[in-house]
Amino acid sequence: MDTHFCKLPTAEQPFRVAEFDRLFAEHLRRAERVDAQTLDLTLDPESLAAVEDLTARETECCAFFTFTLELRLRVTVPPTQAAVLDGFLS
């Protein structure tokens, strides 16, 4: 954590890092670096409450973060029905 921009007391910072580490260890399914300033993380849906709580607290102390929580829906069909998915995109 960059303590220059972080208002979280130094003594509490390792605990916050540990919260993120635990969240990612238990719920992270995919991480994609979109560009130098953006990271997309796909987490298990059951982690929603924990993610909302943790990111709200992190934003309070480190205002430089912007967290955007979005629902991701994956639709899968058998190979013989792949054309059905085209209807979703049109």
Q: What domain range is 46 assigned to?
A: 10-89
Residue 2: what residue type? Answer: D
Question: Is position 21 within any domain?
Answer: yes
pTM of the model: 0.72
* Euclidean distance between CA atoms 38 and 21, whole angstroms: 19
Question: Is position 63 within any domain?
Answer: yes
Question: Is position 66 within any domain?
Answer: yes
Question: Is position 49 within any domain?
Answer: yes
The DSSP-derived string for the chain is --TTT--S-GGGHHHHHHHHHHHHHHHEEEEEEEETTEEEEEE-GGGHHHHHHHHHHHHHH-TT--------------GGGHHHHHHHH-
Question: Is position 5 within any domain?
Answer: no
Question: Considering its fold, how many domains does the chain have in total?
Answer: 1
* Euclidean distance between CA atoms 11 and 15, whole angstroms: 8
- pLDDT tens, per residue, the chain with 90 residues: 444 578 888 899 899 999 999 999 999 998 889 888 888 999 999 999 999 999 999 989 888 889 988 766 666 778 888 887 777 655
Question: Is position 3 within any domain?
Answer: no
